[in-house]
Amino acid sequence: MTGTTFRILILEHNPNDAEMIEAQLRKVALTTSTKRVGTKEMFLRAIEEFDPDIIVADYAVPRFDILAALKQASVDLPGLPWVIVSSAGSEDAAVSCLTAGASDYLSKKNLTRLAAAVKSLLEKKAAAAARAPESQKQPEPAAPANAPAVPAPEAQAAAPAAPAPESDAGLAPLFSALMAATPDLIAFVDIDGKRL
């Protein structure tokens, strides 16, 4: 991560709120470059040209459906973290955003957690990127001399595919948001009610 400059795209139509967000982002103890946009058109162009590592977006940008954007981004830009900030700060909006794919949701009334949230998400993204090449480099084991021949591609295509293993990776952002938003105790129990 040394020497890496992380690109942060800020989607905020209110200049005063954008200044507050940028002031908090200056506290991130990483090398960053920010770009601020205020409209849907500017945002779509910045996605292509700026190629952000993370997006910090206002929940209520005029003529911009943040929930639709989050859902589409999960398809088009998987792995791109989004932090949603909102002046409304309602629990329903937070749940909707997190369900649609946001990595975190913060109230503009309390942006003190923004720098830590962005730094954590950028570090996780960098760690995942560092691990990705290792998993792709794993050599295939050599077949023993008496191993049967590999079937022809037609036979392989006819064979049913093995089911993909289920992953909890998609739950991590929701779990993190739940833990951060819960000031009280969270107890984990098994199906019989025994504490884990």
Model confidence at 168, pLDDT cuts 50, 70, 90, reads: low
CA dihedral 94, 98, 99, 103 (to 10 degrees): 170
Q: Is the pLDDT of residue 33 over 50?
A: yes
Torsion angle of alpha carbons 62, 178, 30, 38, nearest 10°? 0
- From residue 180, give the alpha-carbon distance in Å to each of 8, 69, 186: 22, 24, 11
pLDDT at 163: 46
Q: At what angle do helices 91-100 and 66-76 cross, to 10 degrees?
A: 20
Domains of the chain (ranges plus CATH)?
6-130 (3.40.50.2300)
pLDDT tens for residues 9-32?
A: 999 999 999 999 999 999 988 888
% of the chain at pLDDT higher than 70: 68
For the chain, give the mean pLDDT.
79
pLDDT range class, residue 137, cuts 50, 70, 90: very low
Give me the mean pLDDT over the 95-104 stretch. 94
Question: Distance (Å, rounded) from C-alpha 138 to C-alpha 156?
Answer: 22
Asked whether the predicted pLDDT for residue 121 surpasses 50, the reply is yes
Is the pLDDT reported for residue 152 higher than 50? no
* Overall average pLDDT of the 154-169 stretch: 46
Q: Is the pLDDT of residue 139 over 60?
A: no
Is the predicted pLDDT of residue 37 greater than 70, yes or no?
A: yes
- pLDDT of 44-90, one tens digit each? 999 999 999 999 999 999 999 999 999 988 888 888 999 999 998 78
The residues near 114 (Cβ < 8 Å, ≥ 6 apart) are 21, 24, 25, 56, 83, 85, 106
d(CA 115, CA 100): 22
3-state secondary structure of 125: helix
Sign of the Cα torsion 89, 92, 93, 94 reads positive
Report residue 132: phi and psi, to 5°: -55, -50
Backbone φ, ψ for residue 6 (5° rounding): -90, 135
pLDDT band at residue 129, thresholds of 50, 70 and 90? Answer: confident
